[in-house]
Amino acid sequence: MKRIAVLTTGGDAPGMNPAIRSVVRYGINQKLEVMGVFRGWWGLINEELKVLDHRSVSGIINQGGTILKTARCVEFRTEEGQDRAYGTIKKYNIDGLVVIGGNGSFSAAHEFYKKYKVPVVGIPASIDNDVNGIDYTIGTDTAINTALDAIDKIRDTATSMERIFVVEVMGRESGFIALTVALAGGCEDVIIPERKLDLDVICHGIVHGNLVGKMSWIIVVAEGAGKAEDIAKKITEITSLETRTVVLGHVQRGGRPTAVSRDLALNLGKNAVDCLIAGKTDIAVGLAGGNIVEVDFEVSIKKKELKIDNLFNLVKILT
Amino acid sequence: MKRIAVLTTGGDAPGMNPAIRSVVRYGINQKLEVMGVFRGWWGLINEELKVLDHRSVSGIINQGGTILKTARCVEFRTEEGQDRAYGTIKKYNIDGLVVIGGNGSFSAAHEFYKKYKVPVVGIPASIDNDVNGIDYTIGTDTAINTALDAIDKIRDTATSMERIFVVEVMGRESGFIALTVALAGGCEDVIIPERKLDLDVICHGIVHGNLVGKMSWIIVVAEGAGKAEDIAKKITEITSLETRTVVLGHVQRGGRPTAVSRDLALNLGKNAVDCLIAGKTDIAVGLAGGNIVEVDFEVSIKKKELKIDNLFNLVKILT
Amino acid sequence: MKRIAVLTTGGDAPGMNPAIRSVVRYGINQKLEVMGVFRGWWGLINEELKVLDHRSVSGIINQGGTILKTARCVEFRTEEGQDRAYGTIKKYNIDGLVVIGGNGSFSAAHEFYKKYKVPVVGIPASIDNDVNGIDYTIGTDTAINTALDAIDKIRDTATSMERIFVVEVMGRESGFIALTVALAGGCEDVIIPERKLDLDVICHGIVHGNLVGKMSWIIVVAEGAGKAEDIAKKITEITSLETRTVVLGHVQRGGRPTAVSRDLALNLGKNAVDCLIAGKTDIAVGLAGGNIVEVDFEVSIKKKELKIDNLFNLVKILT
Amino acid sequence: MKRIAVLTTGGDAPGMNPAIRSVVRYGINQKLEVMGVFRGWWGLINEELKVLDHRSVSGIINQGGTILKTARCVEFRTEEGQDRAYGTIKKYNIDGLVVIGGNGSFSAAHEFYKKYKVPVVGIPASIDNDVNGIDYTIGTDTAINTALDAIDKIRDTATSMERIFVVEVMGRESGFIALTVALAGGCEDVIIPERKLDLDVICHGIVHGNLVGKMSWIIVVAEGAGKAEDIAKKITEITSLETRTVVLGHVQRGGRPTAVSRDLALNLGKNAVDCLIAGKTDIAVGLAGGNIVEVDFEVSIKKKELKIDNLFNLVKILT
């Protein structure tokens, strides 16, 4: 193995930059040449790549986003696109590929490996924490803290104006992040895709709370479980109480990565390179139970099942 | 003057708590008794008030929101409500009133003064910076920094994914805050109520930018100038480019007040008490041109005219 | 079990308040009465305690420090002091004790249990991460992020002025935190108690770096491995280069707890109460390998041995 | 005027980067060529400069420090050094110079102008707020907020452990910043160069406070008024109470500039270029009383006299 390439793909996540830094610098330390591919698969298809040296990744460790940029690339889903990407890999004598992204990225990487047998290792980075077989993707901790910061701010108004707020946070398929944020934010309720929403129960709680002097509510909703606006409208219908909404949206995606996001990224960058050197492929590296593990791409892209009952109950008990 | 009362009304703003702290502690220092009225005018009407001592305002200097809570109160717009509020003032021998709020609050305070001649001084606190005759309301600086922080985060994604973002910030009647944030955030464009929106010009800029390799855009829109979603939709119609939106909303309202918001609040709290002691009434205190000034309520509630042309041009030139 | 008491002792750590919140509210949910003891063991000795209800822990989830206050108490090391503390426990019919603190606190709790057989469960909270058998104490993540934030700021000056900085961070006996921060901060070197300091090697690196154009350096030192000032002085002696120091000190101890610190605190609070109810005692609860575990106090107070070689090497390779 | 140059000198301050951005982009907008000089006067002497285009200042608006780097340069105090600097200016046909820095920088710029008649305009940027004739230097607001953030954190421990803290903040010659921070932080006392320190009075306050149950104290000291350690030692001698110290130091210098620091920098950058174009020289631009003003260098470098009595009294009254 003499030359590897690294790319970021899917939605950007805070910590992608430290991951790139680690792949490049550790790669160089291991006597590899490291090429950076721009805009994910698109860059492979369109030959947008260049050699990255030690200095090229200076000053990015604390920056959100990705200096390699990222893109969603429909062309890569076509046979022609994949062939062209493979052509670039051959042309530039790339012996291995590090793919930094979420489960969609790993799915594509897995297909690519199966077809062309280019050694490829994934580094899970995504604010959705959607990669199976590992505990946290790079970026999750940062995104959670950003959401929590917003909720702490909203709490000031909720308390001062005695209002009900419905706050929509990330989480299309899993309520894990909504639960984490709701718990840490001391939120009064949480709505997640894993559990049937019963607004009557929530509204009963609000009305009952009002009677005993509990006047402010923050209800966190995972985006996959409903739109904040719809839920607020229904709460107002049922309780006749004014209800406000906040959709945190893309703010959760950026910002200086936290220590957890950075250290995870830096460790996984090294491990991904180690895996390629050791001849491993078709896998993602990640943290599980405090240890760095290797997970087959096939496993990593399965639906992540999280035990959320304890967390859900704790939210309800502690408010 | 032996006893004064303080209340917060209208939307909460970061810095209301330090303002309360200052009124209470400086009042006590000046041998006054200070009562806190809960939930604004509502508390006056419903006799929800109590004496605040030195300790009662401990530990609030760095807290957003208001410990006195705030509410919008329709009853106070009725003759009966006002009479009841005045009844409370008589009953509790309140010799002067400090009203912490925005221009709506000052409008009500002005009417109240005209009718009952209760000495009243206003402290401008509102994230909208909507009080005429002064430079900044308490809370504006904090809200601007919160919005700026969000825009810095959104920039990470805008750059990494080469996307167009329309970000809606506060400002119902004035584009001042949108301009301030857009300038500080290095945003590509800004849409404000004071200027006719010409989306064709903006879209032409985007399309032209794309041609020369400028791929990411953040367009700030003051809430009074249009809805982010509508604008984004039109941009996509005209340019065929994907456009994302973020509505910062209530997040801008809370949080630890900045040094500017706190120091302003603490200074104005003292000055409001000084004004009452000196027999001044029907005025707001505030910062103008670096000095603390007194502004007649009548002036303070007029529409604030800001010279925004220089700021607008600077945003456009520097991007 | 009808009534339990909770106290915080040793140095304060961000997350103690959410831990108290969880013990109180979960305790009440489990039909227990929960008393809060003020100033740690001192409060037991001096009968400074009171029943905490649901509302008494409102609004503290995002506050650093501890509402129960904490103190170091020499009297508790005497037989008389311990007898008096036990007297309070008998007098108030306290059936179990939750002790929130670090390894010093657990040491004292262990002795107390052995002597008086009062059921006691510990919740590890300390910014030093000094509790054996678990991965992280409550507060560690917050303290690390605070230190990292400072280092990011120092980096601005180090780069702009091309200076050498020695930054002293927490860690009296272990270099784990210094390593974590140095890695996440992209620091050039790190000095820890576990490894013999060879300043000649560090200085050789600096001089060599200067020759190839690397002009700024941040060297993190764990407080247990030397004083920043002494190290800076020696670096200047050897290299003749100006060297600046920053001692982060107590700033690392406070502040809003991060999501990790809060969620850990909230989970452990519940688990500590569960343990008491289940008749478990003389143990700490904590997170190890992603799971909540119970660790005998005797184990928890042993010197924590961490594998730091990989981390140390990674810091050196990635700079 | 066809070509101008910009340099940053003295200590770095948050907001220098947006100032550079503004000079470069507004200069280009005004049909000027803008050169960036590296490491302040040193770069002029050593011909380290290059043309900056629009893109060269992308992505720096939210970065602390200065991309042009800064240095203290003894050579520039010599006739030979100055001649060489002037030689560079002639060689590169530089028609005007923008100097971003503090009063030391303006002093040097003033001398340079007097001798060689090169048009030069200063932009005040320094965390010391040490430029006479204007209200705030670029960077002051950021530094104050950083110090305030630290004090809020220290407050958590001061309250929880009931301790006395002496916190040293910037301010070699003026206590203005210490006062601003002490006021906003709700600190119990403040020690500044402008007032004779009477530790007996402070200690009397502490001892008296202890008697009535006030157990925690934060005393802010401006670095020009004494060392935190010395003061703490004396407090302990007089009161026999344990006293802790924190020296904020260089942490105050870096970090993302606040909205105030950025907008000021962006406005002044434009104005400095306007001044050069209008043939103005030997002046600094700055904000005074809410307006942008021009101040002769000779005035700007005089000792800044601030009225601090009101501020000092307010700190004492409100604690």
Identify the CATH assignment for B140-253 out of 3.10.129.10, 3.40.50.460, 3.30.1360.40, 1.10.357.20.
Answer: 3.40.50.460
Query: Looking at the complex, does the CB of residue D141 fall below 8 Å from at least one CB of chain B?
Result: yes
Cβ separation D251–C246 shorter than 8 A: yes
Q: Give percent above pLDDT 90 in chain C.
A: 92
pLDDT at A15: 98
Of all residues in chain B, the one with the smallest CA distance to A252 is: B153
Instruction: Indicate if A141-253 has the same CATH topology as A3-139+257-300.
Output: yes
> Rg of chain D over CA atoms, in angstroms?
22
- Nearest chain D Cα distance for residue C289, angstroms: 30
Query: Looking at the complex, does the CB of residue B142 fall below 8 Å from at least one CB of chain A?
Result: no
Query: Looking at the complex, does the CB of residue B148 fall below 8 Å from at least one CB of chain D?
Result: yes
State the DSSP H helix or E strand holding residue D313, giving kind and residue range, or none if neither.
helix D309-318
pLDDT tens per residue, range A87-141:
999 999 999 999 999 999 999 999 999 999 999 999 999 998 889 999 999 999 9
| Active-site amino acid positions of D | 128
> Rg of chain C over CA atoms, in angstroms?
22
Q: CA-CA distance, C286 to A222, in Å (whole number)? A: 28
Q: CA-CA distance, B130 to B303, in Å (whole number)? A: 8
pLDDT at A130: 85
pLDDT at D53: 97
- Flag whether pLDDT at B280 surpasses 90: yes
The whole-number average pLDDT for the span C107-115 is 97
The whole-number average pLDDT for the span A1-21 is 97
Q: Where are the domains of chain C?
A: 3-139+257-300, 141-253
- Flag whether pLDDT at A290 surpasses 90: no
Query: Looking at the complex, does the CB of residue B69 fall below 8 Å from at least one CB of chain A?
Result: yes
- Flag whether pLDDT at D306 surpasses 90: no
- Flag whether pLDDT at C134 surpasses 90: yes
Q: Name the phi and psi angles at D102, rounded to 5.
A: -100, -160
Chain D residue numbers touching C64 (CB-CB < 8 A): 153, 156-157
Q: Which candidate, D146, D226, D233, D228, places its Cα nearest to that of D194?
A: D226
Q: Give percent above pLDDT 90 in chain D.
A: 92
pLDDT at D307: 84
Identify the CATH assignment for D142-253 out of 1.10.3210.10, 3.30.450.30, 3.40.50.970, 3.40.50.460.
Answer: 3.40.50.460
From B152, B160, B247, residue closest to A70, measured CB to CB:
B160
Confidence label for D130 from pLDDT (cuts 50, 70 and 90): confident
pLDDT at A113: 98
Of all residues in chain A, the one with the smallest CA distance to C267 is: A314
The whole-number average pLDDT for the span C276-289 is 97
Average pLDDT, chain C: 96
Chain D residue numbers touching B21 (CB-CB < 8 A): 186, 318
Q: Which of B12, B128, B130, B141 is catalytic?
A: B128
Of all residues in chain D, the one with the smallest CA distance to B135 is: D290
- Flag whether pLDDT at D247 surpasses 90: yes
Query: Looking at the complex, does the CB of residue D152 fall below 8 Å from at least one CB of chain B?
Result: yes
Query: Looking at the complex, does the CB of residue A316 fall below 8 Å from at least one CB of chain C?
Result: no
Q: Return the number of other C-beta atoms located less than 10 Å from residue D84's C-beta.
A: 18
pLDDT tens per residue, range A260-274:
999 999 999 999 999
- Flag whether pLDDT at B307 surpasses 90: no
Cβ separation A185–C61 shorter than 8 A: yes
State the DSSP H helix or E strand holding residue B100, giving kind and residue range, or none if neither.
strand B96-101
- Flag whether pLDDT at C5 surpasses 90: yes
The whole-number average pLDDT for the span C34-46 is 98
Chain B residue numbers touching A127 (CB-CB < 8 A): none
Of all residues in chain D, the one with the smallest CA distance to B318 is: D25
Of all residues in chain C, the one with the smallest CA distance to A187 is: C61
From C22, C159, C260, residue closest to A141, measured CB to CB:
C260
**What is the token pair recorded at D232?**
């703490």
Cβ separation A153–B146 shorter than 8 A: yes
Q: Are D5 and D94 in contact (CB under 8 A)?
A: yes
Query: Looking at the complex, does the CB of residue B250 fall below 8 Å from at least one CB of chain A?
Result: yes
Query: Looking at the complex, does the CB of residue B313 fall below 8 Å from at least one CB of chain D?
Result: no
pLDDT tens per residue, range B140-165:
999 999 999 999 999 999 999 999 99
pLDDT at D174: 86
Confidence label for C314 from pLDDT (cuts 50, 70 and 90): very high
The whole-number average pLDDT for the span A225-251 is 96
Q: Pseudo-torsion of CA C69, C71, C76, C77, nearest 10°?
A: 150
- Nearest chain A Cα distance for residue C282, angstroms: 25
State the DSSP H helix or E strand holding residue B7, giving kind and residue range, or none if neither.
strand B3-8
| Active-site amino acid positions of C | 128
Chain C residue numbers touching D65 (CB-CB < 8 A): 155-157, 159-160
- Flag whether pLDDT at D217 surpasses 90: yes
| Neighbouring subunits of D (3+ Cβ pairs under 8 A) | B, C
- Nearest chain B Cα distance for residue A289, angstroms: 30
Cβ separation C161–D247 shorter than 8 A: no
The whole-number average pLDDT for the span C262-275 is 98
Chain D residue numbers touching B258 (CB-CB < 8 A): 145, 148, 258
Chain D residue numbers touching B262 (CB-CB < 8 A): 148, 183-184
Best B157, B168, B214 member to test A by mutation, with max A CBs in 10 Å, is: B157
Query: Looking at the complex, does the CB of residue C53 fall below 8 Å from at least one CB of chain A?
Result: no
Query: Looking at the complex, does the CB of residue B159 fall below 8 Å from at least one CB of chain A?
Result: yes
Average pLDDT, chain D: 96
| Neighbouring subunits of A (3+ Cβ pairs under 8 A) | B, C
Query: Looking at the complex, does the CB of residue C119 fall below 8 Å from at least one CB of chain D?
Result: no
Q: Which of A12, A83, A128, A296 is catalytic?
A: A128
pLDDT tens per residue, range D58-113:
999 999 999 999 998 999 999 999 999 999 999 999 999 999 999 999 999 999 99
- Flag whether pLDDT at C72 surpasses 90: no
Q: CA-CA distance, D168 to D232, in Å (whole number)? A: 11
Confidence label for B84 from pLDDT (cuts 50, 70 and 90): very high
Q: CA-CA distance, D51 to D93, in Å (whole number)? A: 12
| Neighbouring subunits of B (3+ Cβ pairs under 8 A) | A, D
Q: Which fold has domain C141-253?
A: Rossmann fold (3.40.50)
pLDDT at D173: 86
Confidence label for C305 from pLDDT (cuts 50, 70 and 90): confident
State the DSSP H helix or E strand holding residue A312, giving kind and residue range, or none if neither.
helix A309-318
pLDDT tens per residue, range D12-26:
999 999 999 999 999
Residue in the block written with tokens 């940062």: A142
Q: Give percent above pLDDT 70 in chain D.
A: 100
A3-139+257-300 maps to CATH 3.40.50.450? yes
Of all residues in chain D, the one with the smallest CA distance to B311 is: D267
Query: Looking at the complex, does the CB of residue D112 fall below 8 Å from at least one CB of chain B?
Result: no
Q: Is B244 helix (H, G, I), strand (E, B) or coil?
A: strand
pLDDT at B263: 97
CA angle, D9 then D15 then D21, to 5°: 85
Best B156, B219, B220 member to test A by mutation, with max A CBs in 10 Å, is: B156
- Nearest chain D Cα distance for residue C70, angstroms: 5
pLDDT at C17: 98
From B63, B156, B165, residue closest to A65, measured CB to CB:
B156
pLDDT tens per residue, range B223-263:
999 999 999 999 999 999 999 999 999 999 999 999 999 99
In C1-64, where does DSSP find H-type helix?
16-29, 41-45
Of all residues in chain A, the one with the smallest CA distance to B142 is: A153
| Least confident among A15-24, B55-64, C301-310 | C301-310
The whole-number average pLDDT for the span B75-91 is 97
Q: Name the phi and psi angles at D46, rounded to 5.
A: -105, 15
Confidence label for A45 from pLDDT (cuts 50, 70 and 90): very high
Confidence label for B128 from pLDDT (cuts 50, 70 and 90): confident
Q: Are D224 and D194 in contact (CB under 8 A)?
A: no
pLDDT at D28: 98
HEC string of C73-111 equals CCHHHCHHHHHHHHHHHHHCCCCEEEEEECHHHHHHHHH
Q: Which pairing describes strands C217-222 and A49-51: parallel, antiparallel, or unpaired?
A: unpaired
Cβ separation C14–D156 shorter than 8 A: yes
SS3 percent helix, strand, coil of chain B, rounded to 5, is: 45, 20, 35
Of all residues in chain B, the one with the smallest CA distance to D270 is: B314
